[in-house]
């Protein structure tokens, strides 16, 4: 079997098309796990044109589309032929909508053969929130819950950003937060405080991006047993893990399916955590 991983990555330069310092999370696992020569950052790349968390630029593309658009933009801007870009989104966790989650995507674009590879990572470990405040003590209590000043905050007039609205982003200085909050409260009667989700201002998100990159490298370096191509990645999750008491299939994941985008080979693999039976609490028969 040819070593497609070496063929594709040996001695090459990976360009990171990102703002907000995300190369700190992305570069180490890629250098460690792939035979790359180096990782460089595409300088002065205005990825905010693809949408911002704080709403100044509306997000029109889905997160995977936005990540791919950023990678293409990074390739054009730098002339690099191997580019990685990132996109994240925060919102309710679908199985439990009262919990916020962070869904992170990385796209690696290889212009030598035009292929791109996508990796998705979802985590409930987030520092994410927003609150209307009428008094300074509310702002300070919110800031403490959002692990300020390690995590940056935004203060503005309204929950939704609009043109001409007073807004202060990237706040990490307690004195500045207090002064700006007092000014906004005097001028407008109340304010909207929320977390700043940009990676360099939210170390919890930076860690999520690092976990995404680590998972991506693992998937990328898993090669197809039929043709040897890289990224023999999980394409499907099969539910039906049997109950440990009665054997009834549950909604829990039973196995994963890996697939090759080049030759179409598929194979079923056990859960990564080795779990072979579900807790009866998850069973529709034992715990209806």
277 binds Zn ion (CB under 5 A): no
**Cα–Cα dist 225/174, whole Å:** 55
286 binds Zn ion (CB under 5 A): yes
Q: From 222, 256, 264, select the one nearest 239 (Cα to Cα).
A: 256
Q: Which is nearer to Zn ion, 227 or 253 (CB)?
A: 227
What's the min distance (Å) between Cβ of 213 and Zn ion? 24
167 binds Zn ion (CB under 5 A): no
233 binds Zn ion (CB under 5 A): no
CB count, 10 Å around CB of 267?
A: 13
Q: Which is nearer to Zn ion, 40 or 253 (CB)?
A: 253
Task: Mark the segment that binds Zn ion (CB under 5 A) among 85-93, 145-153, 207-215, 238-246.
Answer: 238-246
What's the min distance (Å) between Cβ of 138 and Zn ion? 47
117 binds Zn ion (CB under 5 A): no
Q: H/E element holding 276?
A: none
What mask of x and - would describe binding to Zn ion in positions 189 to 228, judged by CB under 5 A? -----------------------------------x-xx-
**Residues numbered 30-49 forming contacts with Zn ion, rule: CB under 5 A:** none
User: What sign for the dihedral angle of Cα 30, 31, 32, 33?
Assistant: positive
17 binds Zn ion (CB under 5 A): no
What's the min distance (Å) between Cβ of 228 and Zn ion? 7
What's the min distance (Å) between Cβ of 1 and Zn ion? 10
Task: Mark the segment that binds Zn ion (CB under 5 A) among 66-74, 167-175, 201-209, 275-283.
Answer: 275-283
282 binds Zn ion (CB under 5 A): no
**Cα–Cα dist 265/262, whole Å:** 8
Q: Which of 243, 252, 254, 258 binds Zn ion (CB under 5 A)?
A: 243
C-alpha to C-alpha distances, 280 to 243, 246, 252, 256, 272, nearest whole angstrom: 6, 8, 11, 21, 20
What's the min distance (Å) between Cβ of 6 and Zn ion? 16
237 binds Zn ion (CB under 5 A): no
Q: CA angle 22-24-26, nearest 5°? A: 70
**Cα–Cα dist 98/101, whole Å:** 10
Count of residues interacting with Zn ion (CB under 5 A): 16
Burial class of residue 272 (count of CB atoms within 10 Å of its CB; 0-12, 13-18, 19+): exposed
Q: Which of 24, 188, 265, 266 binds Zn ion (CB under 5 A)?
A: 265
What's the min distance (Å) between Cβ of 263 and Zn ion? 3
Write the Ramachandran bin of 213: left for phi over 0, alpha for psi from -120 to 50, otherwise beta. Answer: alpha
Q: From 118, 110, 80, select the one nearest 9 (Cα to Cα).
A: 110
First to last CA, the chain: 50
Give the chain's count of helices (H) and strands (E): 6, 12
C-alpha to C-alpha distances, 27 to 32, 77, 88, 98, nearest whole angstrom: 8, 19, 17, 34
Q: Which of 245, 275, 279, 282 binds Zn ion (CB under 5 A)?
A: 245
List residues near Zn ion by CB under 5 A.
Answer: 224, 226-227, 229, 243, 245-246, 248, 260, 262-263, 265, 280, 283, 285-286
């Amino acid at each position: 079997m040819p070593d497609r991983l070496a063929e594709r990555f040996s001695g090459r330069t990976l360009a990171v098309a990102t703002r907000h310092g995300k190369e700190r999370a992305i570069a180490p696992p890629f250098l460690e796990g792939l035979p790359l020569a180096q990782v460089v950052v595409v300088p002065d790349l205005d990825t905010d044109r693809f949408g911002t968390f704080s709403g100044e630029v509306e997000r029109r593309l889905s997160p995977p589309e936005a990540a791919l658009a950023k990678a293409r933009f990074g390739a054009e801007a730098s002339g690099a032929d191997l580019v990685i870009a990132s996109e994240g989104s925060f919102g309710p966790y679908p199985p439990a909508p009262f919990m916020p989650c962070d869904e992170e995507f990385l796209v690696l674009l290889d212009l030598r053969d035009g292929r791109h590879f996508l990796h998705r990572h979802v985590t409930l470990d987030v520092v994410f929130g927003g609150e209307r405040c009428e008094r300074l003590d509310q702002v300070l209590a919110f800031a403490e819950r959002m692990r300020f000043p390690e995590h940056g905050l935004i203060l503005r007039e309204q929950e939704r950003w609009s043109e001409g609205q007073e807004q202060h982003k990237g706040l990490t200085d307690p004195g500045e937060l207090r002064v700006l909050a007092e000014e906004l409260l005097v001028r407008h009667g109340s304010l909207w405080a929320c977390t700043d989700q940009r990676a360099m201002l939210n170390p919890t998100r930076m860690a999520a991006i690092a976990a995404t990159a680590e998972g991506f490298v693992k998937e990328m370096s898993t090669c197809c047993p039929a043709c040897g191509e890289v990224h023999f990645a999980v394409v499907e999750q099969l539910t039906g893990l049997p109950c440990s008491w009665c054997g009834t299939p549950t909604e829990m994941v039973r196995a994963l399916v890996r697939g090759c985008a080049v030759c179409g080979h598929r194979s079923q693999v056990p859960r990564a955590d080795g779990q072979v039976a579900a807790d009866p609490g998850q069973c529709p028969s034992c715990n209806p």
